[in-house]
Amino acid sequence: MSRSEALIDLAAIRSNTSKLKAMTQAQLLAVVKADAYGHGLVPSARAALRGGANWLGVAIIDEALELRAHGVTAPILAWLWTPGEEESVRRAIAGGIDLSVNSIWALEMVAAQSRALDTPASVHLKIDTGLSRNGVARDDWRDVLLAAAELVDQIDLRITGIWSHFAYADSPGHATIDRQLVAFEQALAEAVECGVVPSLRHIANSAALLTRPDAHYDMVRPGIALYGLPPVPGNFGLTPAMTLRAELALAKKVAAGEGVSYGHDYVTSSATTLGLVPLGYADGIPRAASSIAPLQLRGERFQINGRVCMDQFVVDLGAIDVQAGEVVTLFGPGIGGEPTATEWADLLGTIDYEIVTRIGPRVRRVFSDDAEDTDLAEFVEDSVG
């Protein structure tokens, strides 16, 4: 194997997508933003499509363009762009990529680039229903609707969707969920009044897909659940798709009382063997994992000892006679007793989204899939059993 690897089980992504798809009558948009939450943009997108996804969703336009450049023809929605991205907007329209619109200026930029290309643009109008993040401000909603309706006649603008995003869907029963649904219904009714009737209404993320069928509307947008990490408690039959592992770069015996790593936050209590793992915060291992986070070697659990450094950390392996080159697993599906990304997140006081997404490019991705028609030739760098 390589020095460090993130093993990506594309069959798990495909299966997770299929299971999520079976939970709804709506279309399914697979969110593959942020390099598919660290799992690899193009292979993960293809796996989700094989699992039944109807659409793909990304935050930034560049990721949508990368999918198109690799021959992905499925509908794609991109939702986070700025006034300085005129050329990207133009390329998105030319590539048949749907764009989210959150303001008059964004609508006008899409219209201008559509006119310049003499090509219809397809947009999803996003209404802020209570997250106070992206989306049209409530007081500006009617103005955006009227401007969009006028452009439909002027440049053949296609208003494909109206959408929003929950603030608390991962806390089932929270009062804001119902309030946001009421606000969404009001925004949809106002759209009809203004002559805007989209074919797709969507607000449900992974958590709402799993817990709020009344929020499914015409399309759902699972993200983290695709990768086997459900954002709410429950057994949904999903399989974590990433396993992070590395070869020991060094194993050495030290005496009792030896300080380990910067600051000597950890001191050996007896003669022991230290293993050096070639992963650090430059690779996405949180510095906060120092002396906390678990890992597995030879089926046995250990934990990081001392501070996580930029490129490496140390683990106290006790009396084990270990050699450089042996493989440690930081997290995986958990079926072999190894830690999970969710376990790491709980120990570090964060969310598993962050644990998998922050794994950096120095960690080689190795893809596996048990399907016969995987078409992974340009991505697979190694075979995985």
Cα radius of gyration rounded to whole Å, the chain:
24
Q: How far is CA 183 from CA 131, 243, 298, in A?
A: 11, 40, 53
Length of the chain, in residues: 385
* Rounded Cα gap, residues 306 and 262, in angstroms: 7
The DSSP result for 35-59, as a single string, is HHHTT-HHHHHHHHHHTT-SEEEES
Active site residue 21: no
**Where do the domains of the chain lie?**
10-226, 242-368
Structure tokens at 177: 């969920």
Structure tokens at 46: 């293809």
Confidence of residue 379 (pLDDT cuts 50, 70, 90): very low
Catalytic site residue from 33, 126, 266, 281: 33
Domain 10-226 has CATH 3.20.20.10: yes
Q: What is the pLDDT of residues 161-192, one digit of tens each?
A: 999 999 999 999 999 999 999 999 999 999 99
Q: What is the pLDDT of residues 33-76, one digit of tens each?
A: 999 999 999 999 999 999 999 999 999 999 999 999 999 999 99
Q: What is the pLDDT of residues 361-370, one digit of tens each?
A: 999 999 999 7
* Domain topology for 242-368: Lyase, Ornithine Decarboxylase; Chain A, domain 1 (2.40.37)
Catalytic site residue from 21, 168, 252, 262: 262
Active site residue 168: no
